[in-house]
Amino acid sequence: MNLKNSLHVEVAQKRESRLCKDRIKDLVHSHLANYVCLTPGASITGPELEENIELQEHVHSITFCDVDHHTEVSATAVDLIYHVYKLDTFGVETDTMTDASTGEEFAAADVWSLPAQDFHGLWENLVYDTKLKEDTVRFVETALDFADRGVDPHIVSCNRVVLLHGPPGTGKTSLCRALAQKLAIRLGDRFPRARLVEINAHGLFSKWFAESGKLVARLFERVVEIVSDRRLLAVVLVDEVESLAAARRAAIAGLEPSDSIRAVNALLTQLDRLRRFPNVLVLTTSNVTGAIDVAFVDRADLKRLVGPPSARAAYQVLSGCCSELMARGVITQRERVFSLCVLESARFAESAGSRASVRLWGLAQEAAARGLSGRALRRLPVLATLQGRGMKAPDLLIFIEWLYAALHQYLEDATQLDDEHNQRPPPVVVTNGH
Ligand SMILES: Nc1ncnc2c1ncn2[C@@H]1O[C@H](COP(=O)(O)OP(=O)(O)OP(=O)(O)O)[C@@H](O)[C@H]1O
C-alpha cells in the first residue's frame, strides 16, 4: 500500500512549445530531482529555469500547490502529481445586452477561457489565515466528483453552489476566479476545456429593466450553450448576489413589482436548471450577508465568511509587496524579509538582520487591529511612495516607515469619508417612470 502523500505540481507550458505533455512531465520531473525540499505555494520561474535550456524553452513556470501541505515537504516523501497546461491569452469576452424598452446597453456577462493568463498567480497571492482556500477546493472537487458518479441528489443533496460573503475588498471575487483557474488546471484530464462565466447581477438588477426577466432568460440561453459541452468545465460566478434581494425588496415596497420579482425568479430558476449539468459549478459572492435573498442562501451548499486579513496574513501580503519592490529596484539593496516562522522561532528578537522584518510585523499587527481589507493592504505600498516626497529608491527600513505613515493617512482619510457620509441627507429613490 502506498502511504505517501501527494503534492500537485502545476506546470505552465509555453504557448509556442510543441512538446507533448508526457515529455514536459519527464523534463520537470528530472529537474525536480535536484531539489531536496519543495515549498507549497512557491513557483519556479524565469531565472531559476535558466540552468536547464530545454526546460527554459518549453516551460513558463512550475508551481507547487498549497492545498494539501503548508510547510516545506521533502521531495522524496511525496508523490508528485503533474498538471501540464497552456495559458489562454485571449482575455475576457464581454457579452452585452440591450433592454428593448429603453435601448439601454449593459454588460451582462464576462467570459474567460481557462486557465487564463489574467488569473495566473492569483491563487498563490491570496493569503488567508484559515482553511478557506483548502476547504473550497476540496468541496468543489468532491461536488463535481459526486455529479460525475451520478450520486442521486434526492438522497445526497448537493447543488454545487458556493457562497462567499463578507466585507468589501476581502478577496471574494478574486478567490472565485482563482478557484475556477485552479479547477481548470487540476481537472484538465477530465475537462480539456474550461470557461468562467461571470454574470453581472448588479447590472441586471440595479435598474428596473422592464425586460429583466427576458434578459436573464436570453443570457442563460448563452450559458446553456456553453455548458452543453460535457467535456467543458463551466464555472458560473454571480457577484454581488445581494442585488437580487434589493430587487425583491423594491418589489415589496411597490416599485415595479412584477418586473423585478420576475427577474429574480427567472435567475433562480435558471440557476436551478444548471444543476442538471454535472460539469457546472456556481460560485457567488455578497458584501452584505443579511441582505442576501433567503431563497438564494438556501441553495448554497457551502457558505463561508471571508474576513479581512489577520496579522499573520497581513504580514505575508506586506512582505510579498516589499520583496516585489526590491526585485524591481524600487527599494534599494535586496534584503531578506524573514518568514513569520523564522521570526517566531527567534521570539521576534531584534538584530541588525531582523530589524526590518520585526518592524513590518508591527505594521501588520496594527493593520489587522484596524480591520484593513486585503485590497487596502495591497494599496499601501503605492501610497507609501507619496511619503518620500520625490525621494527615489529608499532602503527597506525607510520604506517600512513610509508604510506606517501611509497606513495612518489611509485611516484618517477613511474616517473623514465616513463622517462626510454620515452627514449627508438620505438619498431620494428615483426609479424609471416613478
Ligand atoms: N486575503 C487577501 N490576500 C491577498 N490579497 C487580497 C486579500 N483580500 C483581498 N486581496 C486583494 O484585494 C483586491 C480586491 O479583491 P476582490 O475584488 O476580490 O475583493 P472582494 O471581496 O470581491 O471585494 P468587493 O466585495 O468590493 O467586490 C485584490 O487585488 C486581491 O488580490
* pLDDT at res. 124: 92
Q: Whose CA is nearest to atom 15 of ligand 1?
A: 171
pLDDT of 129 above 70: yes
Q: Whose CA is nearest to atom 6 of ligand 1?
A: 374
Q: Which atom of ligand 1 is nearest to the CA of 122?
A: 31
pLDDT of 430 above 50: no
d(CA 287, CA 208): 21
* pLDDT at res. 434: 36
pLDDT of 203 above 80: no
pLDDT of 426 above 60: no
DSSP code of residue 189: T
pLDDT averaged over every residue in the chain: 85
Pocket test for ligand 1, best of 179, 306, 375 (most atoms within 8 A of CB): 375
d(CA 241, CA 297): 10
Q: What mean pLDDT comes out for the span 412-427? A: 72
* pLDDT at res. 429: 42
d(CA 265, CA 268): 5
Q: Whose CA is nearest to atom 16 of ligand 1?
A: 171
C-alpha cell at 18: 510543441
* pLDDT at res. 96: 84
Pocket test for ligand 1, best of 118, 122, 170, 284 (most atoms within 8 A of CB): 170
C-alpha cell at 229: 459541452
pLDDT digits (tens, 9 = 90+) for 25-43: 999 998 888 888 888 888 8
Who lines ligand 1 at CB under 6 A?
125-128, 168-174, 285, 287, 309, 313, 317, 374-375, 378
pLDDT of 259 above 70: no
d(CA 372, ligand 1 centre) in Å? 11
- In this structure, which long-range contacts are made by residues 378-386, counting pairs with CB atoms below 8 Å and at least 24 apart in sequence? 378/317, 378/321, 379/410, 380/318, 380/321, 380/406, 380/407, 380/410, 381/321, 381/322, 381/325, 381/406, 383/409, 383/410, 385/330
pLDDT of 158 above 60: yes
Report the DSSP pairing between strands 93-98 and 59-64.
Answer: unpaired
More confident call, 5 vs 193: 193
Q: Whose CA is nearest to atom 29 of ligand 1?
A: 375
Q: Which atom of ligand 1 is nearest to the CA of 166?
A: 21
pLDDT digits (tens, 9 = 90+) for 266-305: 888 888 888 889 999 999 998 876 666 677 778 889 999 9
Q: What mean pLDDT comes out for the span 326-352? A: 85
pLDDT of 335 above 80: no
- 162 neighbors 286 (Cβ within 8 angstroms): no
* pLDDT at res. 432: 40
Pocket test for ligand 1, best of 174, 286, 321 (most atoms within 8 A of CB): 174
* pLDDT at res. 271: 84
pLDDT digits (tens, 9 = 90+) for 401-417: 999 999 999 999 888 88
